[in-house]
Amino acid sequence: MPPSPRRIAALGECMVELCRRPDGLLSMGFGGDTLNTAIYMARLGVPVDYVTALGDDPTSDEMQASWEAEGIGTGHVLRVRGRLPGLYMIETDAAGERRFLYWRDQAPARDLFALPGTPALEAALEGYDLLYLSGISLAIWGEAGRARFFALAERLRRRGGRIAFDTNWRPRLWPDRETARRAYDEMFRHTDIALPGVCDLRELYDDADEAAVLARLRGFRIPEIVLKREDPGCILCSEDGDVVVPAERVETVVDTTAAGDSFSAGYLAARLQDKSPLEAARAAHRLAAQVIQHRGAIIPREAMHSLAPL
């Protein structure tokens, strides 16, 4: 069955999250950048599917059920016999700084484009209105997986679909900087809506400043760029011209986890609901401002009553 009109698929990895509590015990949750974005888009009234690969274990069952409880479609989640999802642990030091420890090398999400179910998945994804992924998605798929995704993106865009990309640069996931640069360059050539961060691209490309980052992005002729600045706010570059859109003022920032993920969700949800790029950027800032006033990546549903639907 073809996807519903205006449907979006978010591609990436969700991991098991262990967080050490003050009493020394560990609490378990689930986390992932593209999943965070998918959850917020679903809460904003946009039909969204999450596309990844999981194991056949009870934790994978629980993970998938939690997405469905948020209204996210899971019809294109591939399940791999005998495999387990990736895991990470958060440790917080006395100064409040967080450290992340990862166990993800054998996670099935890394093989999303190398599984028996991959050809059928690719055929289904070609019919979507928009595919969304991040730099973390690119990193975990490896060279062969990225090549298959780029071929899929080419076919989808020829049919009128679009690709949205959030840079989310994580050096530890790449074998070297040159490999990452080649992958990002190719990704930008396939991108219709770019959601990059100035900090990401300055570090990846050694660009001198914000102007250099923006000049680089313009070179790829991306139709729509929403550049997240180091100071709160973004630069919006679209067919309507360039405009600086300031962030919402927040008196007390509690936790910046998922600020960028929620920003992407707010922007894409608004655009998929026919808002202008400027209206979408303002909606993105409103959602991100709400998120950073709560602890954790996913805020309580009741905290979004004033935001959803758009």
Active site residue 255: no
One-letter identity of residue 307: L
The residues, ordered by sequence, that sit 6+ positions from 245 with a Cβ below 8 Å of its Cβ are 233, 234, 235, 236, 278, 281, 282, 285
241 φ, ψ (degrees, to nearest 5): 105, -170
Three-state DSSP string of 61-85: HHHHHHHHHCCCECCCCEECCCCCC
Q: Look up residue 86 and give its two tokens.
A: 């990736």
**Which residues are bridge partners to 194 per DSSP?**
165, 225
Answer whether 261's CB lies under 8 Å from 197's CB.
no
Q: Look up residue 228 and give its two tokens.
A: 């997240």
Q: Report the distance separating Cα 150 and Cα 128, nearest Å.
A: 15
Answer whether 168's CB lies under 8 Å from 132's CB.
no
Catalytic residue among 33, 111, 166, 261: 261
Q: Is the peptide bond before 309 cis (omega within 30 degrees of 0)?
A: yes
One-letter identity of residue 157: R
Q: Report the distance separating Cα 268 and Cα 283, nearest Å.
A: 10
Answer whether 194's CB lies under 8 Å from 226's CB.
yes
Residues marked as catalytic:
261
